[in-house]
Structures are given as C-alpha cells and as structure tokens.
Amino acid sequence: MQKKVTLVVFSSELDKALAAFNIAIGAASAGMEVSMFFTFWGLDIIKRSEGRIRSQGIMRRMLNRMNRGGSKRLRLSKFHMMGPGTWMMKRLMKDVKFPQIEELMAMAKEMGVKFIACTTSMGIMGIGKEAFIPEVDSFAGVATYLAEAEEAKVNLFI
C-alpha cells in the first residue's frame, strides 16, 4: 500500500504555511500520498485572495473583515512589523530562488496533494465554500482526518 502523510494545518502564519507545503512537496516527491487538513486559522491559507468574503451576522462579518485571509495576506509569526518584515522575508526567499507560497501550493497540487477544509471551523466562522480557492478537494470533518491519519505513519500538527 502507498505510504501516507497527513498534515493538520491549524495556523495561518506564512512561515508555518511554508513549512507545511515544504513537507507536503517532499513527501509527494517520495511517492507518498499526502492530505492536508486545513482547520481554524489554517483556513486563511486556502481562502481566495480576491473579492469579498460574505458571511451572516454582525460578529461573523466583523471577524471575516478583520481576518480576511488568502495566501497573499499571510504574515510571518515573527517580525511581521505591520508589513515590512513579511515583505522582506518574501524578498529574501526570492533572492535564493525559493518559491513563494502560491507557487508551493501550485506545486503541491500538481503533485496530487489533497487539500481538505474543515467544515466545523467554516461553520463557526461563517465562511462558505465560495470563500475558498478551487484547488480545495473536499470539505470534511474529524472522521475524515482520522481515517487518513490512522493509515499514515507521518502525522503533523502545524
């Protein structure tokens, strides 16, 4: 049976997202089947960057305005400094020809990595399917994650 890797992507920081996709690409390159479960803040990574995100109710509308998400808006967990820190890190990555997050996501997708969005987090935050990039394969819950994780030797929570 094909070896499996499951990644729970809970965080939305750019640096953590980079690490998650780096591992996913490495595993896929070694012929492993990779599933990435995006949950809670991690959903920000797979939100589309363009357009408005619609939600119901004042609290959810406020939350989604203050926490818009989308790969272009991810911030470093350290030295974001309201923008220039993250800008600089992206620049440093470019200097050494390291792909930007969008390119890593595209590579992962091309290699068959599965993107799964957590429907519970979507429900709590009031985010619909239309808020996400089309590369998301499915919308599911913890049982789907566990069924995959049980068969995987590598399980990470990022």
Partner 1 sequence: MKADATLDCIGLYCPLPIAQAAKKLRELEAGQVLEVLADDEGIKEDMPAWCHMTGNELLGIEEGPEGYKVYVRKAKERDR
When the beta carbons of 63 and 111 are compared against partner 1, the nearer one is 111
CB of 90 to partner 1, least distance (A): 15
CB of 145 to partner 1, least distance (A): 23
When the beta carbons of 99 and 126 are compared against partner 1, the nearer one is 99
Run of H or E including 12: none
Q: Can you give the binding site for partner 1, defined by CB under 8 A?
A: 3, 22, 25-26, 28-32, 96-99, 107, 111
CA 24 to each of CA 13, 43, 94: distance values in angstroms, whole numbers, following the listed order: 17, 17, 20
When the beta carbons of 22 and 119 are compared against partner 1, the nearer one is 22
CB of 16 to partner 1, least distance (A): 16
When the beta carbons of 51 and 112 are compared against partner 1, the nearer one is 112
3 token code pair: 């070896």
- Name the region of 23 (left: φ>0; alpha: ψ -120 to 50; beta: rest): alpha
* Strand, helix or coil for residue 36: strand
What's the farthest any 2 CA atoms get from each other in the chain?
A: 49
Run of H or E including 151: helix 142-151
Distance CA 67, CA 89 (A): 21
When the beta carbons of 28 and 149 are compared against partner 1, the nearer one is 28
CB of 148 to partner 1, least distance (A): 19
CB of 29 to partner 1, least distance (A): 4
